[in-house]
């Protein structure tokens, strides 16, 4: 039976306040950008013509309204975007350094996204997806953690591929030991893992990326692992193959959403191929396209509304090939 959605994602939805110059009085100006890794992934997938839905919670406030309107605008299904009466929408302030790297300050103690409860998980909805995508930000606190685990059980049980991006944000955890424990829970569940260079070092304790990936493969038997290395590019590890593609050189403004854009591009490719029988050539094409899409998003502010069109990615690929 055909599934209604290509990808359902669960997790945090928040406002990223990003630096945007100074006022006449010399005060820092911040722009309210809709954000949150899961919806960044979905926004890219929608640009590629896929059907997506989000499961999560925002506050019953002006920011919650802004986020719902934004998802509606980019055509992400919001039928399971819930509203929390008592707790406000989660906020993050992003400080961007000259090289485009970022530092986060979160207003989430509590935030609406972490108020999701187990009894709010809709089994019929989750059974309607080909891929279920999640991260660890919906596992930082007990209630939302139980909801995430229940959603995972339902999605996995209905035959969906499970996609996991740990998206480690140390300030949001009571301890890094708990963060590692929840990351390991995700590793045990996923078919597709997207992990960054610093995350693989954190979780494996190994400096060398290949050694870190081998450690994960040995322990968790994850079929497909993507490693992102910032502007250096990315790697895919699949059935004994290791494929690497270089990054693209662009005028980076900030790196918000780059990893999510990469992840969404890879999921888009997987939806169009046979996941059980990917070739080295296909993995290379997937990485090249995903690297290009991720590079493009770093040339713009924000993420959900900054996702590139397919044509823009092809244009960058063509100009780089010349």
205, 236 Cβ separation under 8 angstroms:
no
- Residue 75 in tokens: 């055509």
Whole-angstrom distance, CA of residue 250 vs CA of residue 66: 30
| Backbone dihedral angles phi then psi of residue 211, each to the nearest 5 degrees | -65, -40
37, 260 Cβ separation under 8 angstroms:
yes
Pairing relation of β-strands 91-96 and 102-107? Answer: antiparallel
Q: Does domain 5-11+37-88+113-321 have CATH number 3.40.640.10?
A: no
One-character DSSP codes across 103-155: EEEEE-TT-GGGG--GGG--HHHHTTEEEEEEEGGGGSSHHHHHHHHHHHHHH
Per-residue confidence (pLDDT) for residue 96, from 0 to 100 = 77
31, 17 Cβ separation under 8 angstroms:
yes
| Predicted confidence (pLDDT) per residue in 234-291, tens digit | 999 999 999 999 999 999 988 889 999 999 999 999 999 999 999 999 999 999 999 9
Q: How many helices (H) and strands (E) does the chain have?
A: 10, 13
| pTM for this entry | 0.96
Helix or strand (DSSP H, E) at 269: helix 258-271
Per the prediction, the chain carries an average pLDDT of 96
Which one-letter DSSP state was computed for residue 191? S
| Predicted confidence (pLDDT) per residue in 27-42, tens digit | 999 999 999 999 999 9
Instruction: Indicate whether 1 pLDDT > 80.
Output: no
| Predicted confidence (pLDDT) per residue in 85-128, tens digit | 999 999 999 887 877 677 889 999 999 999 999 999 999 999 99
Whole-angstrom distance, CA of residue 45 vs CA of residue 53: 11
Whole-angstrom distance, CA of residue 80 vs CA of residue 89: 16
User: Measuring CA to CA, which residue among 151, 132, 148 is closest to residue 140?
Assistant: 148
| Predicted confidence (pLDDT) per residue in 254-268, tens digit | 888 999 999 999 999
Per-residue confidence (pLDDT) for residue 94, from 0 to 100 = 84
What are the Cα distances from residue 197, in Å, to 18, 185, 231, 276?
24, 19, 11, 26
Q: Return all residues near 153 (Cβ < 8 A) that are at least 6 apart.
A: none
Pairing relation of β-strands 77-84 and 91-96? Answer: unpaired
């Amino acid at each position: 039976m055909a599934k209604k959605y290509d990808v359902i994602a669960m997790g945090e939805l928040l406002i990223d306040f990003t630096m945007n110059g100074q006022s006449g009085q010399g005060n820092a100006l911040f722009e309210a950008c809709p954000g949150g890794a899961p919806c960044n992934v979905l926004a890219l997938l929608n640009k590629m013509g896929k059907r997506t839905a989000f499961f999560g919670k925002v506050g019953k406030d002006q920011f919650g309204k802004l986020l719902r309107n934004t998802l509606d605008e980019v055509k992400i299904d919001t039928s399971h975007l819930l509203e929390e009466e008592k707790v406000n929408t989660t906020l993050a302030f992003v400080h961007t350094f000259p090289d485009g790297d970022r530092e986060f300050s979160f207003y989430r103690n509590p935030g609406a996204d972490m108020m999701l409860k187990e009894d709010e998980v809709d089994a019929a909805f989750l059974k309607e997806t080909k891929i279920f995508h999640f991260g660890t930000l919906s596992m930082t606190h007990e209630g939302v953690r139980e909801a995430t685990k229940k959603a995972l059980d339902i999605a996995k049980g209905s035959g969906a591929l499970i996609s996991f991006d740990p998206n480690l944000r140390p300030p949001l955890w009571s301890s890094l030991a708990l963060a590692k424990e929840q990351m390991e829970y995700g590793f045990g569940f996923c078919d597709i893992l997207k992990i960054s260079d610093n995350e693989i070092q954190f979780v494996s304790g190994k400096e060398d990326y290949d050694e870190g990936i081998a450690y994960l493969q040995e322990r968790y038997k994850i079929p497909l692992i993507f490693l992102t290395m910032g502007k250096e590019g990315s790697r895919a590890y699949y059935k004994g193959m290791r494929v690497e593609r270089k990054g693209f050189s662009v005028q980076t403004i900030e790196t918000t959403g780059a990893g999510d854009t990469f992840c969404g591009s890879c999921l888009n490719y997987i939806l169009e191929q046979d996941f059980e029988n990917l070739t080295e050539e296909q993995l290379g094409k997937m990485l090249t396209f995903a690297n290009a899409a991720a590079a493009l998003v770093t040339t713009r502010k924000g993420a959900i509304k900054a996702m590139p069109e397919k044509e823009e990615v092809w244009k960058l690929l063509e100009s780089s090939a010349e």
